[in-house]
């Protein structure tokens, strides 16, 4: 298991008044990451009502919710619970805290689709841009490491190949007009995002292969265009099914890699870190016209998804 080393939200935010007990680790990780991102990329010239955030996670507030439930069931009265835990037990708490602190008065959404959450957040964000709902959207996912998550994941999936990890990964997405106004060039372009559901472990490979094929078709690409594949490689039989889906659709076998050996299994934030890992690799090995990265994700509950990205 691995926690973000030496993480101190007060030093990251530059604010000694932050109430850590009230804030909670998921919100702290998200706020710290968003703060670092906005320090690097200015968005102040965009109206606050046109700036938003889409944040996701799989189990990011489960520990506080379970603590409140336990206190309610074991205390002298059901309402004898620690009040400072209540705000942080809501799933949308991290995104709301980010919006409040950084003046994001536009759309504010929280999504959760298991290990696919990062891809789902990016897909939601892409739809909002297409409908003209925002000029700048911070999109990503966060997952913290806590005792309850360790216990629940262990009970659900047994012995794990990869240690659990934590982290927040957030991308700044914006319209073409906003990018021009800020003098920024496009670093990553989402070409296609596809999702599906497998009714059994044995059908995971077939369903994912169909989604990969459809993503290629909708992007106007062929398998030979794919430069690398970032796989989620979950524990158990689904791992084999995911790799089989990749090998049957991308026959030339480009670079296939994972990131969980570097940071641990980040569950709901994993697909965001897969995309980030591909971006880092592409910067070291650029291809004329942009590197085409395929990100695949499989959740033990049967949800599967993939995304094709052009890294400039």
CATH of the domain at 141: 3.40.47.10
The total number of structural domains in the chain stands at 2
Greater model confidence, 17 or 249 = 249
- CA-to-CA separations, 56 to 32, 107, 156, 167, 236, in angstroms, rounded: 15, 14, 21, 12, 24
Residue 3 lies in a domain: no
Say if residue 143 is in the same domain as residue 205. no
Final residue of a domain: which of 145, 165, 182? 182
Residues 227 and 170 occupy one common structural domain: no
What's the gap between Cα 87 and its chain centre? 22
What pLDDT score was predicted for residue 154?
63
Residue 202 CB: number of other CB atoms within 10 A? Answer: 10
Residues 238 and 151 in one domain: no
pLDDT band at 148 (very low <50, low <70, confident <90, very high): confident
Asked if the structure places residue 84 within a domain, the reply is yes
Q: Are both 80 and 214 inside the same structural domain?
A: no
Concatenated DSSP letters for 148-211?
A: HHHHHHHHHH-S-SS-B--EEEEEEEE-HHHHHHHT----EEEEEEEEEE-SSGGGHHHHHHHH
Give pLDDT, residue 65: 78
Distant-in-sequence, close-in-space partners of 139: CB < 8 Å, separation ≥ 6: 53, 54, 55, 121, 122, 124, 125, 170, 171, 173
Quick one: pLDDT at residue 25? 86
Give me the pLDDT at residue 197, please. Answer: 96
Same domain as 278, residue 135: no
**One domain, residues 84 and 142:** yes
Residue 159 confidence class, pLDDT cut points 50, 70, 90: low
* Same-domain status, 84 and 165: yes
293, β-bridge pairs: 228, 309
189-208 per-position pLDDT tens digit: 999 999 999 999 999 999 99
Residues 164 and 283 both lie in one domain? no
Name which of 101-105, 215-219, 236-240 the model is least confident about.
236-240
Whether the CB-CB separation of 57 and 26 falls below 8 Å is answered with yes
pLDDT in tens, 13-59: 777 666 666 788 899 999 999 999 999 998 988 999 999 999 999 87
Across the chain, mean pLDDT equals 89
Let me know whether 132 and 228 are in one domain: no
Q: Based on the domain organization, do 303 and 162 belong to the same domain?
A: no
Domain ends where: 158, 182, 206?
Answer: 182
Q: What is the pLDDT of residue 4?
A: 82
Question: Which residue range is the domain that position 86 belongs to?
Answer: 9-182
Whether 229 and 194 map to the same domain: the answer is yes
Higher local confidence (pLDDT), 285 or 135: 135
Q: Note whether residue 103 is domain-resident.
A: yes
pLDDT digits (tens, 9 = 90+) for 290-306: 899 999 999 988 999 99
Residue 276 within any structural domain of the chain: yes
Does the pLDDT of residue 12 top 90, yes or no? no
């Amino acid at each position: 298991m691995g926690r973000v080393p030496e993480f101190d939200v007060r030093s990251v935010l530059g604010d000694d008044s932050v109430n850590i007990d009230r804030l909670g680790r998921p919100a702290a990780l998200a706020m710290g990451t968003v703060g670092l991102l906005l320090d690097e990329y200015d968005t102040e010239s965009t109206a606050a009502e046109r700036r938003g955030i889409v944040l996701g996670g799989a189990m990011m507030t489960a520990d506080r919710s379970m603590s409140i439930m336990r206190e309610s069931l074991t205390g002298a009265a059901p309402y004898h619970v620690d009040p400072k835990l209540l705000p942080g037990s809501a799933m949308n708490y991290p995104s709301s805290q980010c919006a409040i602190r950084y003046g994001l008065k536009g759309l504010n959404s929280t999504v959760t689709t298991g290990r696919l959450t990062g891809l789902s957040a990016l897909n939601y964000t892409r739809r909002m841009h297409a409908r003209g709902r925002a000029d700048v959207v911070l999109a990503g996912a966060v997952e913290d490491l806590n005792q309850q998550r360790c216990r629940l994941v262990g009970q659900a999936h047994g012995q794990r190949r990869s240690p659990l990890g934590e982290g927040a990964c957030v991308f700044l997405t914006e319209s073409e007009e906003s990018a021009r106004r800020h003098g920024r060039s496009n670093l990553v372009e989402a070409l296609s995002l596809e999702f599906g559901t497998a009714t059994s472990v044995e059908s995971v490979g077939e369903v994912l292969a169909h989604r990969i094929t459809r993503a290629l078709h909708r992007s106007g690409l062929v398998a030979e265009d794919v430069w690398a594949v970032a796989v989620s490689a979950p524990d158990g039989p689904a791992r084999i099914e995911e790799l089989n889906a990749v090998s049957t659709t991308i026959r030339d076998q480009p670079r296939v890699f994972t990131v969980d050996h570097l940071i641990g299994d980040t569950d709901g934030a994993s697909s965001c870190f897969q995309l980030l890992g591909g971006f880092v690799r592409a910067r070291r090995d650029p291809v004329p016209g942009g590197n085409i990265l395929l990100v695949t994700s499989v959740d033990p509950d049967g949800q599967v998804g993939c995304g094709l990205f052009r890294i400039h």
